[in-house]
Chain A
Amino acid sequence: QKEVEQDPGPLSVPEGAIVSLNCTYSNSAFQYFMWYRQYSRKGPELLMYTYSSGNKEDGRFTAQVDKSSKYISLFIRDSQPSDSATYLCAMRPGNDYKLSFGAGTTVTVRA
């Protein structure tokens, strides 16, 4: 079993829809949770960074962390074709800076 599970998709939604992405994990030591967006042939770009459980909102993006269920989510509201990319969840313990990544979910937003 992988340490971080993420459905690779692909996920296709119409423009304007809400995109819902999630990851589950097994290591209870994880305390920091991130979502990165990666366009084809580019490096990952940090979207959201959260510590411990709770919600965080930034523009059209909302990240949720539920440590009791070992489950994190990213929601993209009013999705645009420019949101078409691969979304990677990543996480790490409090005492180690190495990240554990999900497999990445490929999202296509249809115009």
Chain B
Amino acid sequence: GAVVSQHPSRVICKSGTSVKIECRSLDFQATTMFWYRQFPKQSLMLMATSNEGSKATYEQGVEKDKFLINHASLTLSTLTVTSAHPEDSSFYICSARDPGGVQFFGPGTRLTVL
């Protein structure tokens, strides 16, 4: 299957700082990438859909000014958590849609905000 990478895999930051997470499709071009959040023992919650060259589409209840998404190329999307607070601590996972319409997921980033 296709490979999607995420960086960093873990990050610990102080409250009030911003954190950037990168998502890359390594062996295919992805016009669409998705960002999810997952709480312990729960399923994935879609935060936003990222389309290359255009603004991201956010799900209801997700603050677009807090979770900044940039999809500058066909292989890279970034999620920036601005002014992070402890309640933003979570497991963030990206996925990339291949040309056949299949979503492949990254390994996830565990964010801990102190």
Contacts and interface: CB of A to CB of B under 8 A. Distances in A.
B1 interface: yes
Interface in B4-60: 4, 6, 32, 34, 42-44, 46, 49
Interface stretch (A62-70, A72-80, A95-103): A95-103
Contacts of B34: 98-99
B108 A43 contact: yes
A98 B44 CA distance: 12
A41 B105 contact: no
B105 A45 contact: yes
25 contacts: A32-B101, A34-B102, A34-B103, A36-B105, A41-B91, A41-B108, A41-B110, A42-B107, A42-B108, A43-B93, A44-B44, A44-B105, A46-B1, A46-B103, A46-B104, A46-B105, A97-B97, A97-B103, A98-B34, A98-B46, A98-B49, A99-B46, A101-B44, A102-B43, A104-B43
Interface of B: 1, 4, 6, 32, 34, 42-44, 46, 49, 91, 93, 95, 97, 101-108, 110
Given A46-B1, A97-B97, A104-B43, 7 more contacts: A36-B105, A42-B107, A43-B95, A43-B107, A45-B105, A88-B43, A99-B34
